Amino acid sequence: MTNSRLLPSLRSAIMPLALVASPLSAWAWPTLTIPTNFLEADANLVFSQEALDALALVEIQMSPAGTATASAGQVGAYMLPVTSVTIDGLKVAAGKSTGAALKFDRFDYDTGADRRVTLGNFRLDFIKRVIHADAFSDNGQRTPDMPVFTFNEQTPLAIKYRFPLSITAHQVLDKLFLTPEAQGVFNNGLGLPEVVQDVLRIINFGEIRVNVGVKLRAKPVSTTPYKP
């Protein structure tokens, strides 16, 4: 990437980031959506061993799709690039990983068919503490922006700023529990036995480690929404 092509992206980010650091009162703040797809900004989704064991019990296999990748050196962990962050007032209200997806595959012995549910285009709602995603089933059904997990903020959002353009952010979100909407999609989409449905309802699925920095990626991440 040439410097001339990079400058417009940097200019679009400098103004929102400068506002984050300015001592404005909360009433003066607009709602800002900051593109972060050209920065090294990621959310590492780490599934708990309890969740991995439950999924393995009914032979559900997970795999990354779109811009998501398996986390190096970690079992059951996936890196979701953070493509934008929304700031409302003095707080981070949301974060998106548009284009990233996770596939959940299972062979249904009752019907003799392969079944699949895919979650894509993740959105973290820090106000309601819910993780959303578009849900796709192999029967062609799509549920846009479905609430998938509720979460707890294990650590407060840590933001460091240094003039003129140096911001880093780190946060750990834990206690991921499936929402009733997500339970229904997985139960029907994968043909899960009732005993497993009861288990998935109470399992803590793990945590998400969010890291946002200003180091540039070698190549910006695509922001095209994922579609199977």
Q: For residue 214, give the nearest of 38, 29, 69 by alpha carbon.
A: 38
**Can you give the pLDDT at residue 10?**
41
User: Which runs of consecutive H residues, i.e. helices, occur in 162-202?
Assistant: 180-190, 194-202
Tell me: the pLDDT tens digits for 169-211? 789 999 999 999 999 999 999 999 988 899 999 999 999 999 9
Query: For the chain, how many helices (H) and strands (E)?
Result: 4, 13
Q: For residue 45, give the nearest of 156, 135, 114, 133 by alpha carbon.
A: 133
Tell me: the pLDDT tens digits for 3-13? 444 434 444 44
**Is pLDDT above 80 for 26?**
no
Rounded-to-integer distance, Cα 190 and Cα 174, Å: 25
pTM of the model: 0.84
Rounded-to-integer distance, Cα 216 and Cα 153, Å: 27
Q: Both tokens of residue 8?
A: 């417009």
**Can you give the pLDDT at residue 77?**
98
Q: Both tokens of residue 84?
A: 């934008």
**Is pLDDT above 70 for 24?**
no
Q: Specify the residue for token string 């040439």.
A: 2
Tell me: the pLDDT tens digits for 119-133? 999 999 999 999 999
- Residue, of 92 and 144, whose pLDDT is higher: 144
Rounded-to-integer distance, Cα 132 and Cα 122, Å: 6
Tell me: the pLDDT tens digits for 133-167? 999 998 888 999 999 999 999 987 766 655 444 55
Region 30-45: what's the mean pLDDT?
A: 91
Would you place residue 31 in the very low, low, confident or very high pLDDT band (cuts 50, 70, 90)? confident
Q: Both tokens of residue 99?
A: 């284009």
Mean pLDDT of the chain: 86
**Can you give the pLDDT at residue 140?**
85
Q: For residue 122, give the nearest of 8, 43, 211 by alpha carbon.
A: 43
Domain range annotation of the chain: 3-216
Rounded-to-integer distance, Cα 20 and Cα 26, Å: 11
**Can you give the pLDDT at residue 167?**
57
CA of 182: how far to CAs of 11, 75, 151, 190, in Å? 39, 23, 14, 12
Which of 17-21, 51-55, 180-184 bottoms out in mean pLDDT, i.e. has the lowest?
A: 17-21
